[in-house]
Amino acid sequence: MNRKRFALIVGIALVCAGGASIPFWMGHRSTPSYQTTPVERGRIAAKVTATGALSALVTVQVGSQVSGRIQQLFADFNSPVRKGQILVKLDPQLYAAALNQVQANYLSAKSNLVKSQIQAAEAERQLRRTKLLADRKLIALADLDTAQANASVAKAQVESARAGISQVQASLHQAEVNLAYTTIVSPIDGVVISRNVDVGQTVAASLSAPTLFVIAQDLRKVQVDASISEADIGKLRAGMKTEFTVDAYPNDRFEGLVRQIRNSPQTVQNVVTYDAVIDVANPDLRLKPGMTANVTFTYDSRENVLSVPNAALRFKPPVSDSKRTPGKRRRPSDPSRGTVWVLRESKLVPLKIKMGLSDGTQTEVVSGEIKEGDKLVIGAGDPKSSSGQPGGQPGGRTRIRGLM
How many angstroms separate the CA atoms of 360 and 284, rounded?
A: 34
Per-residue pLDDT averaged across 74-82, rounded?
Answer: 95
**What is the pLDDT of the chain when averaged over all its residues?**
85
| HSE-CB for 380 with a 13 A CA cutoff | 15
26: helix, strand or coil: helix
Among 36, 45, 50, which Cα is nearest to 378's? 36
| HSE-CB for 78 with a 13 A CA cutoff | 2
Q: Kindly report, residue by residue over 32-60, the tens digit of the pLDDT.
A: 678 899 999 999 999 999 999 999 999 99
How big is the CA angle at 242 (ends 313 and 193), to the nearest 5 degrees? 135
How many angstroms separate the CA atoms of 393 and 380, rounded?
A: 12
φ/ψ of residue 145, rounded to 5 = -60, -40
97 pLDDT exceeds 70?
yes
E strand map for 57-203: 59-63, 68-73, 80-81, 86-90, 183-185, 190-195, 202-203
DSSP single-letter state for residue 1 = -
Q: Where does CATH 1.10.287.470 sit in the chain?
A: 92-181
6: helix, strand or coil: helix
How many angstroms separate the CA atoms of 275 and 227, rounded?
A: 5
pLDDT at 135: 87
% of the chain beyond a pLDDT of 90:
67
E strand map for 131-189: 183-185
95: helix, strand or coil: helix
How many angstroms separate the CA atoms of 161 and 166, rounded?
A: 9
CB atoms within 10 A of CB 53: 14
5 pLDDT exceeds 80?
no
How many angstroms separate the CA atoms of 59 and 232, rounded?
A: 29
Contact 309, 362 (CB under 8 A): yes
153 pLDDT exceeds 70?
yes
How many angstroms separate the CA atoms of 394 and 376, rounded?
A: 11
The sign of the CA dihedral 136, 141, 142, 144 is positive
How many angstroms separate the CA atoms of 191 and 195, rounded?
A: 11
16 pLDDT exceeds 60?
no
User: What's the Rg (C-alpha) of the chain?
Assistant: 46
Domain 92-181 annotated CATH 1.10.287.470: yes
Q: Kindly report, residue by residue over 307-333, the tens digit of the pLDDT.
A: 999 999 999 887 643 344 444 555 567
Q: Which residues have a Cβ under 8 Å from the Cβ of 157 and sit 6 or more positions away?
A: 116, 119, 120
Q: Where does CATH 2.40.30.170 sit in the chain?
A: 48-57+219-300
Contact 183, 70 (CB under 8 A): no
356: helix, strand or coil: strand
Number of H helices, E strands in the chain: 4, 20
Q: Kindly report, residue by residue over 327-366, the tens digit of the pLDDT.
A: 455 556 778 899 999 988 888 899 999 999 988 899 999 9
Residue 392: pLDDT band with limits 50, 70, 90: very low
Contact 258, 277 (CB under 8 A): yes
Concatenating the DSSP letter of every residue in 220-277 gives TEEEEEEEEETTTGGG--TT-EEEEEETTEEEEEEEEEEEEEEEEEEEETTEEEEEEE
Compute CA distances 145 → 85, 155, 156, 157, whole Å.
65, 16, 17, 19
335: helix, strand or coil: coil
Contact 340, 313 (CB under 8 A): yes
pLDDT at 149: 93
Residue 243, strand partner residues: 255, 296
Phi-psi region of 388 (alpha: psi -120 to 50; beta: other; left: phi over 0): beta
Q: Kindly report, residue by residue over 163-214, the tens digit of the pLDDT.
A: 999 999 999 999 999 999 999 999 999 999 999 999 999 999 877 778 999 9
302 pLDDT exceeds 80?
yes
CATH for the 48-57+219-300 domain, from 2.40.30.170, 1.10.10.10, 1.10.357.20, 3.40.50.720 = 2.40.30.170
385 pLDDT exceeds 70?
no
